[in-house]
Amino acid sequence: MIKKILIANRGEIACRVIKTAQKMGIMTVAVYSEADNLALHVAMADEAVCIGPAPSAESYLVQKNILQAIRDTKADAVHPGYGFLSENASFARALAREKIAFIGPKPRAITAMGDKIESKKLAKKAGVSTVPGYPDAIKNAKEAVKIAKKIGYPVMLKASAGGGGKGMRVAYNDAECLDGFVRATNEAKSSFGDDRVFAEKFIEEPRHIEIQVLGDAHGNVIYLGERECSIQRRHQKVIEEAPSAFLDEDTRQAMGEQAVKLAKAVKYQSAGTVEFIVDKNRNFFFLEMNTRLQVEHPVTELITGLDLVEQMINVAAGKKLTIKQADVKLNGWAMECRVYAEDPFRNFLPSIGRLSRYQAPSAVSDPDCIVRVDTGVYEGGEISMYYDPMIAKLVTWGPDRNAAIASMREALDAYYIRGVSHNIPFLAALMAHQRFIDGNITTNFIAEEYPDGFNPADAVHDDPNLVIAVGAVMHYSFQRRAAMISGQLAGHGRQVATDWVVVDGDDHHPVSVTMVDDDYTVTVGDTDMVVHTDWNMANPLFVGQINGADVCMQVSRVNVTYRIVHSGVQADLLVVSPNVAHLNRLMPHKAPPDTSKLLLSPMPGLLVSVSVSEGQEVKAGEELAVIEAMKMENVMRAEKDCVISDIGAEPGDSLAVDQVIMTFE
């Protein structure tokens, strides 16, 4: 039996593994970089060992440091989580030499499935349906175009050692293929130290659906249903759910059986995921196999009732699976949203800093539904520039898909984060989108629905009057408190008015507010609403009922306005008297500064290259510079014809957000 597990990872997945180990009575060891000395996983573990400086290349990816930590703590097993060394066969072999159990598959399976080129050949041999393409490494950009023409556009150029959307480019013509090959190769080399790129047919109207498999050392392999992971942005998963609303029982079984075939072909032991791309006719094709625990594993756990980390630990200890395929039953529906520290209104730029306020939801109003939060952060903790900007995985379960969506929307409303930007407004907008609710989704969903990025106007509230009513109640409460000031002259005390105007941008909403017992009656236009709440001005969550329906809104006072966040919509409301509202309409609006002659860095990152020189004439669409951020290359192009007048940064510079790179004439 395994007695002590070292978790060779950080963040939420390290905390997730520790929870199951504690439940099983197993001791845990956390490893951490100098930047993570106050991290949550360090506090949760029984022991903790520093393994190097902040950059992951000098800490979490340094095998000798982790091996030394294993020796020092006398751990007898290692769980790698996901990312970092989780799919590194040499690490698994090094542990085997030390007689340390690797809580994952054997090195042979990692090697076979870790190379996307070789894995497709193996899958085809095992009888698994594969995407048409060129399975070998492409030599150069010229050959890439030749191969793409033979396959037929559009094609997907993919890094052989890739993952997480890095080293991937879709090309619809020769020019995009030439540029895409260069970008995919550079990203692959930067991210994985392996610049091999292959090509395959790009399936249009595709869905990304994956099968969870579980195998043991005794030849038993089962599948645990599927996960729908089609909601993606730049090949990064945003929302996952289980099961898929698209699959029928026959397709589910066929995909599951093929996944098991592939797992058996490599004698797979542990939890793993076989990813498929599925077209509009439910034809499915093998994409890759992830030989590790997936980020989105909680949705499978919630619909099967299984603890996948526990299963992995038991398999690593040599135990047989205690369940057979016939025992696997899918119950209800689960949704997962990835909550990231990024600004959705600034093209999802990563956000770093301290979590000045952090309050995660723990329940929803429907007693039949469940909320789960997997996180590695806490209030006062820091989101570091060195690692993935994930804050948490928010997961809900309900008896059906509509219940899971409704619970997720409620949980997102109650997820209170301050100190860093986050993507909750975007997640809330996706959850409220009718096309998503209908299940009419593909991997192109976000690109099709938000072609110009996500903007505040894209978040539309179901009933704006609810927000207006809460703003009016907040103002009425503040006015009542102000009227309680001591020392007022008798007969001249401050009176609280009932008629106000709520100003929301250019919109003016006349309202009246009265209070009877503990309830507020708010009239917005011709609509009467009864608001019942025990909210006080120190609470950042306004929880109560409006006309009997439960509401939860995030509220704060910002200078003289009331900021309300609900269903992904942020409203900054000014509540004033009718006379002041009239004067407010006459106030001039300050125009924003003109930045049309500046190339500003849209994100913190590394300036990889500058493609122009001072005095050079450039045409619209021409490349100006390349910025690398979070291991992704971002090409900055000219928006119009211009002349470069000044270049203020050099390749190798670390750029801040909105730093001037160059100016135009």
Positions marked catalytic: 288
In terms of Cα–Cα distance, which of 540, 661, 553 is closest to 608? Answer: 661
User: Per the structure block, which two tokens stand in for 223?
Assistant: 């599948």
3-state secondary structure 232-298: EECCEEEEEEECCCCCCHHHHHHHHHHHHHHHHHCCCCEEEEEEEEECCCCCEEEEEEECCCCCCHH
In terms of Cα–Cα distance, which of 431, 212, 449 is closest to 338? Answer: 431
CA distance 392 to 412: 12
Q: What's the CA dihedral at 648, 650, 656, 660 to 10 degrees?
A: 20
DSSP letters, 513-552, are EEEETTEEEEEETTEEEEEEE---TT-SEEEEEETTEEEE
User: Per the structure block, which two tokens stand in for 364?
Assistant: 């929803």
Contact 119, 133 (CB under 8 A): no
Helix residue spans in 440-543 (DSSP H): 445-449, 464-482
In terms of Cα–Cα distance, which of 80, 78, 96 is closest to 88? Answer: 80
Question: Which residues 6+ apart lie within 8 Å of 139 measured at CB?
Answer: none
In the chain, % helix, strand, coil (3-state, to 5) comes to 30, 35, 40
Contact 521, 529 (CB under 8 A): yes
Residue for token pair 């997907």: 156
3-state secondary structure 7-31: ECCCHHHHHHHHHHHHHCCCEEEEE
In terms of Cα–Cα distance, which of 456, 366, 378, 376 is closest to 408? Answer: 366
CA distance 427 to 269: 35
